[in-house]
Structure 1
Amino acid sequence: MNKELNNEMEDELRSEYDFAQIEGGVRGKYVDRYRAGTNLVRLAPDVAAAFPDEEAVNSALRMLINVAQRYNSNH
């Protein structure tokens, strides 16, 4: 680690990033969703190409869960 850093965080933002000039943002817009929790999963491109929408993904996963449960109950 750089010896010039003395346990203080340095401001690494560029001077052109003037956040005081940003307008229209809503603070905390998604905080309720965040607190409720999310389970986002990024699909590989080839897998995503097989499903037209989220309902198709959910349907396929539910079917897989069902098959796995049946398999486990028989063994």
Structure 2
Amino acid sequence: MRKEYDFVKGKRGPVVRTPPGKTRITIRLDQDVIDWFKGQVDEAGGGNYQTLINRALRDYMGQAREPLEETLRRVVREELKHAS
């Protein structure tokens, strides 16, 4: 019997290595969200929708946001007001 494939020297793992500074994850996004980002890339004439999602997340991270301590204080005050 003739062997067509010899996997003796095969290695497990991804075919394409993850570049330094990147982490490969599995994430579930709504299809309409993915379609929107892919559409944005198509309208721009090409690119990578994952890079666009990464950029959108970075933009969100960079927005001036209320510090967690202030959020907690506000929520506790509102709850105490509603409880009395």
TM-score of the pair, normalised by structure 1: 0.45
Q: Which has the higher contact order (CA 8 A, sep 6+)?
A: 2
Q: TM-score, normalised by structure 2?
A: 0.41
